[in-house]
Amino acid sequence: MAPKLLTLDEVDLRNKRVLIREDFNVPIENSQVQSDLRIRAALPGIKQALAAGAQVRLMSHLGRPAEGNWLAEYSLEPIAKCLEKLINLPVKFIKDMFNEPVSPTDNLILFENVRFLAGETDNDVKKKKKMAGMCDVFVMDAFGSAHRAHASTVGVAEFARQAVAGPLLMQEITALDKIMRSPIAPVVAIIGGAKISTKLQVLFSLITKVNSLIIGGGMANTLLAAQGVDIGASLCEADLIPEAKRLLLAAQQCKCQILLPIDFVTADNKILDIGAQTIVNYIQPIKQARTILWNGPLGVFEDPRYANGTRQIAIAVANSQAFSVAGGGDTLLAIEQFNLTEQIDYISTGGGAFLEYIEGKALPAITVLLTNGGP
């Protein structure tokens, strides 16, 4: 079951300064937000705080700029404009959260990218104390950043008068607990992406929890190479072939079926998508599943020539009778690209946090709320 966290519903917000850590790490091109899914996911918490009579202050990171420097491409100003349209309220955008004055008449404020602040990722004492001093209630509602022990995720919660979990954070925990702690079998996990090194420990964890593990994308190549399959010039982490062999053996011992590609779509001697027969093989356990977890594309879906594998698997998940949870930035983009957002039971806004929670790791931004949730 979900951790017993103090939530936004349980605190008095009237006339309070409420600082909400959001995950507005969204794709932006030419100063335009390309996917507003994470922003829309944050709206319930923002609206709840406003309706309760709070002055709402929002902060988030975007990308990985060098700390201490302002870069236009990582500015949250386009997000402020997008949020204004979505919530139909004025959003005051403040570039310098520590030095620019905040008017009591500004009901909704978005501060500039916290990663422009030197010391943010180091959980700097001065920075986190300043953030805590800017609020009466701190709300952690950025599940996608909950695995980061930064000033704006963990540090501020250590010193805030009151630190609580937001509605999106609670939804994420509840959905992932349902799929990982009390799933209805058969359970199928679909894991894709480029490099197996980023998800190896998750794979080892999943083989003990699921009935079938479907693997695609570039990460499948290392497993294929471990089986002696010729993968040509495809992406392969050769140094991890021994670990790949160990994973395949461990899956057999756990009686977890691992499904790998058996045919491919290639170009320049590189595997770029799964083939037609692989799609058929992958769809079969998806149809039979009662619980589905999906993270990562099955090919280079950004290119229409290599999007069919991911598209067909996404459609199969959407059409399944199973309870389905999908997460990860590329996964969200694929689901939106194929217009299937409404057909997935729960879409997680987390990427790294999603994977670490599945792996069973404690997320520091959740842990700190368990120790500093009181008044």
Catalytic positions? 38, 195, 329, 352
Residue 67 corresponds to which tokens in the numbers above? 């700390």
Antiparallel, parallel or unpaired: β 55-59 and 108-111: parallel
- Helical H segments across 184-256, by residue range: 200-206, 219-226, 241-254
One-letter amino acid for residue 112 of the chain: E
Please choose, from the candidates 10, 13, 26, 4, the residue with its C-alpha nearest in 3D space to the C-alpha of residue 351.
26
One-letter identity of residue 322:
A
Say which amino acid occupies 283.
I
Token code pair at residue 289: 């599943």
CA distances from 46 to 109, 139, 160, 327 (A): 11, 10, 19, 22
Nearest partner of 91 among 62, 58, 116, 63, judged by Cα: 58
Distance CA 153, CA 166 (A): 13
**182 token code pair:** 């009390």
